[in-house]
């Protein structure tokens, strides 16, 4: 048997094979993350992968003339400040081979050569969290973690200590208006937390903070709050998820941020508030909650990853700008 792996450009004749491999990838992850739920996503993958094959950049791996993997990036785009980038979505890869790391290595090498010839410097890759061989290949290839996607089953109870001195409530829009000043200050505390060590995130996209307040008035957003001595001291928001494959899932919802006043942190109040929000969401018929957070934030990792399960990572790599375009021999 010939074990040589040959990579060829994306070919519409192999869209169906790619769809099958993408579904197999998802099914494999659900073995480790049952909260995802077992769904047939082929219709979703069919639509998305067709566009990738028609407009994107990528490669298909063959062994003995049979497709054993694919890697595809969306159209190259300008990320801002004159930097060109390319992103491979979570459904943008699939492997049907026992040597997963080897196959994805060949695919990335071939695809990256074309991407960099087109002067794309900023690369983003999405990978399933338990696809260990693939993750290791990218980490060894100088990719770094950026964000993670986590999920939880609302039927799983969140352990938390009783907080009898606190009042938990879901706010209606009238109450959100009533507590406008407190909501803005909670948001300001979060922004200031993200701006300092070890995160160093400028948060320019969230400024001015007062403009962000309008988002909390959206009819799609639910606000779960906690009060102490008649003061708003914490809240969690939820809204329809922006996770692509879950957007049509009527049993799924997303959570945004948890806001706790600085002098109330470290006493388990965040866990108690999350438990309250989880129960309220569960009572609304929701089975799955999705959250995306930055891996660089130790507070986010310590909180969300304690009660949710990681199922995907976004990884990034910046190519040396002197190595873009066609590389000539010296």
- CATH number for domain 156-286, candidates 3.30.70.20, 3.40.630.30, 3.30.430.20, 3.40.50.800: 3.40.630.30
22, 57, 115 from 238: Cα distances, Å: 29, 35, 37
pLDDT of residue 163: 87
Instruction: Give percent above pLDDT 70 in the chain.
Output: 99
pLDDT at position 73 over 80: yes
pLDDT of residue 329: 81
Distance CA 168, CA 234 (A): 9
pLDDT at position 55 over 60: yes
pLDDT tens digits, one per residue of 62-71? 999 999 999 9
pLDDT tens digits, one per residue of 210-258? 888 888 999 999 999 999 999 999 999 999 999 988 988 999 999 999 9
Give the helix ranges, DSSP H, for 8-129: 15-30, 42-55, 100-117
Using DSSP bridges, classify how beta strands 122-128 and 77-80 pair: parallel, antiparallel or unpaired: unpaired
Average pLDDT over residues 103-109: 97
Q: What is the DSSP string of 264-284?
A: GTTSSHHHHHHHHHHHHHHHT
pLDDT of residue 116: 92
Domain boundaries, the chain: 6-149+314-323, 156-286
pLDDT tens digits, one per residue of 274-329? 999 999 999 999 999 999 999 999 999 999 999 999 999 999 999 998 888 887 88
Q: What is the DSSP string of 292-330?
A: EEETT-HHHHHHHHHHSEEEEEEEEEEPPGGG-SPPPP-
Average pLDDT over residues 142-161: 95
- CATH number for domain 6-149+314-323, candidates 1.10.1740.10, 1.10.10.60, 3.40.50.300, 3.40.630.30: 3.40.630.30
pLDDT of residue 210: 87
pLDDT category of residue 39 using cuts at 50, 70 and 90? confident
Name 234's bridge partners.
226, 260
Contact between 49 and 15 under an 8 Å Cβ cutoff? The reply is yes
Q: Which of residues 18 and 2 earns the better pLDDT score?
A: 18
pLDDT tens digits, one per residue of 162-210? 888 999 999 999 999 999 999 999 999 999 999 999 999 888 888 888 8
Question: Among 30, 224, 199, 6, which Cα is nearest to 129's?
Answer: 30
Q: Which long-range contacts does 234-241 make (Cβ < 8 Å, 24+ apart)? A: 234/186, 234/258, 234/259, 234/260, 234/261, 234/264, 234/269, 234/270, 234/273, 235/171, 235/183, 235/186, 235/259, 235/273, 236/273, 236/274, 236/277, 238/277, 238/281, 238/289, 241/290
């Amino acid at each position: 048997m010939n074990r040589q792996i040959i990579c060829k450009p994306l070919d519409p004749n192999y869209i169906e094979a790619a769809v099958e491999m993408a579904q197999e990838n998802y099914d494999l992850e659900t073995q480790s993350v049952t909260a995802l739920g077992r769904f047939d996503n082929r219709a979703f993958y069919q639509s998305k992968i067709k566009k990738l094959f028609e407009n994107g950049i990528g490669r298909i791996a063959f062994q003995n003339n049979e497709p054993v993997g694919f890697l595809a990036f969306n159209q190259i785009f300008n990320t801002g400040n004159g930097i060109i980038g390319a992103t491979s979505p979570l459904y943008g890869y699939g492997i049907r081979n026992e040597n997963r790391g080897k196959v994805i290595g060949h695919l990335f090498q071939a695809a990256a050569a074309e991407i960099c010839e087109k002067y794309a410097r900023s690369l983003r890759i999405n990978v399933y969290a338990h696809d260990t061989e693939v993750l290791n290949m990218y980490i060894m290839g100088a990719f770094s973690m950026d964000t993670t996607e986590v999920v939880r089953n609302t039927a799983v109870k969140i352990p938390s200590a009783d907080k009898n001195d606190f009042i938990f409530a879901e706010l209606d829009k009238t109450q959100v208006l009533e507590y406008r000043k407190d909501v803005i200050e909670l948001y300001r505390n979060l922004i200031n937390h993200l701006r300092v060590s070890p995160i160093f995130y400028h948060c320019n996209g969230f400024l001015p903070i007062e403009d962000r307040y309008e988002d909390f008035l959206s009819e799609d957003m639910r606000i779960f709050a906690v009060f102490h001595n008649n003061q708003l001291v914490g809240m969690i928001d939820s809204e329809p998820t922006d996770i692509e494959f879950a957007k049509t899932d009527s049993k799924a919802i997303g959570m945004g941020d948890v806001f706790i006043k600085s002098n109330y942190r470290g006493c388990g109040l965040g866990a108690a508030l999350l438990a309250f929000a989880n129960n309220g969401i569960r009572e609304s018929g929701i089975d799955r909650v999705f959250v995306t957070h930055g891996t660089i934030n130790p507070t986010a990792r310590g909180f969300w990853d304690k009660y949710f399960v990681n199922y995907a990572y976004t990884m990034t790599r910046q190519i040396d700008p002197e190595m873009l375009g066609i590389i000539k021999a010296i």
